Amino acid sequence: MRQPIRVDNSRPVTVYDTARILGVSKKRTEAIIREVERTIHRDAKTGEVVIRTKGWENTPGNHSSRNGRKTSKTASASRKASR
């Protein structure tokens, strides 16, 4: 059932407030914030907000190519291999 979102103008809303209202878990909220902090930063010299492009992810030593996937065989793959 839909419920109206209550607005409290006593203080600015935070990312955590928005996530809580939308029903996002704390763990997922933290993961999203970490990802955004890695992607967006403020340039020290100019003070401008910079969004990093995809090219910076493929630097040597960075394991972003895995994208959080398991590197070992899945259970179904190992069952097929054992037949």
DSSP line for 40-60: EEE-TTT--EEE--GGGGG-T
- Cα 16 to Cα 27: distance, rounded to the nearest angstrom: 11
Residue corresponding to tokens 């403020």: 42
pLDDT in tens, 8-28: 777 888 899 899 999 999 999
Q: What is the pTM of this model?
A: 0.47
Q: Are 61 and 50 in contact (CB under 8 A)?
A: no
pLDDT in tens, 31-80: 999 999 889 988 888 889 888 877 655 555 555 555 555 555 566 666 66
Q: Which of 35, 41, 67, 6 has the alpha carbon at shortest distance from 27?
A: 35
